[in-house]
Structure 1
Amino acid sequence: MLKLKTERLTIFPLDKYNLELAINNFNEMEQNLGLTVTDKNIGIREKNVYKIRLKGVENNIINYMWFTTWVIVKIDENRVIGAIMVKGYPNKDGEVIVGYAMQDDYKRKGYMFEALKALIQWIFLNPDVKCIIADTLKNNIPSQHLLQKIGMVFFYEDEECFWWKLEKDHNGQESKGDLDK
């Protein structure tokens, strides 16, 4: 199983079986993965997002990691504290879209920065990737600050969201920001 490790976290993609477990009973997924079983569960909105990810995984079993939810596990507690969704293999323009969520008790402690940094480095290993895109609700100032800290640059606005982009430079690395901060 593909796993990314940081100082405090392990980040890994849910395969089809574990994604189905997460949708139907999050605690069973935790148990199946040998993680601390918590009183947390995912809400209806997250279940719908996970179901969208599941369709992508079912259609791309070999490259499922580009279509699934990646869970963020806090190593010292062996528990899921958040997730990052990768929303497909790079499109014809080399774009990969990500979305993310963190449990309230773990927000503003640097965990999402650490997790995104690791996943961005993995994503940019793929030669087909030219940039990573994320969106934030217009009123989600902490998320906007996080994306700026990662090095993303605002490039588009719709009625609901601001859209951000991080481009790969010609050496295959992030071209904006300092991911080692």
Structure 2
Amino acid sequence: MIEIRTERLRMIPLSTDHLRLLTNDQNQLEINLSLQKSKSNLSQELKKAMEVRFSKALLDEQNYIWYTNWIMVSKNMNEIIGGIMLKGTPNDEGEVVIGYYTHPEHQGYGYMTEAIHGMKDWLLNQTNVRYVIADTEKDNIASHRVLEKTGAELYQETGELFLWRYA
């Protein structure tokens, strides 16, 4: 199984079965993966995002890692502390879009900065990936800081979003 490791984290791409459990029965997922019970469960908004990830991963199960949520597991606590979602295989320009979240009790410790470094480095070493893209809501200052610290360039703006890119 593919896994990205950083100093404090393991990032594990969830199979479709595991992705379904994350949404419907996180405790069972944690048991299946031999993890400690997390203090947080997904918000309704994140559950909806996971349902989208699940439906996309089902359409192309051979390439599920490009459509799924990669859980971030603290090596020290052996607990899910957040995740990074990939939103599809590289497009014709070599762009891959990511989304991410950290459970509230784990925010402010640099986990997402560490996770983004590991994920973007892994992605930029994959065939056909030239850019890693992240979009953020304009008022999400904490996310902007993470992207700035990890070397992303703000390259586009829409009505609601900033688009950031790693090359």
* Length-normalised TM-score, structure 1: 0.89
Partners of 1:111 and 1:130 lie apart in 2 by 24
- More deviation in 125-134 or 82-91? 125-134
More helix by share: 2
Q: Which runs of 4+ in 1 moved over 2 A?
A: none
1:68 to 2:38 alignment: no
Partners of 1:124 and 1:85 lie apart in 2 by 16
Partners of 1:18 and 1:97 lie apart in 2 by 21
| Corresponding residue of 1:116 | 116
Task: Output the aligned Cα RMSD.
Answer: 1.0
Paired residues in the alignment total 167
| Corresponding residue of 2:87 | 87
Deviation, 1:82, is 0.5
| Corresponding residue of 2:130 | 130
Indicate if the aligned counterparts of 1:68 and 1:86 stay in contact, CA closer than 8 A. yes
Partners of 1:144 and 1:4 lie apart in 2 by 23
Partners of 1:38 and 1:89 lie apart in 2 by 30
1:18-167 equivalent positions in 2, closer than 5 A: 18-167=18-167
Deviation, 1:39, is 4.2
Q: 1:129-178 deviations in whole A, cap 9, x for unaligned?
A: 110110111111111011011111111111211110111xxxxxxxxxxx
Deviation, 1:37, is 1.4
- More deviation in 13-22 or 101-110? 101-110
Unaligned runs of 5+ in 2: none
Partners of 2:3 and 2:108 lie apart in 1 by 23
Percent identical pairs in the alignment equals 36
Counterparts in 2 of 1:106 and 1:39: CA distance versus 1, 3 Å: closer
Deviation, 1:96, is 0.3
* Length-normalised TM-score, structure 2: 0.96
Unaligned runs of 5+ in 1: 168-181
Greater relative contact order: 1 or 2 (C-alpha under 8 angstroms, separation 6 or more)? 2
Partners of 1:145 and 1:38 lie apart in 2 by 26
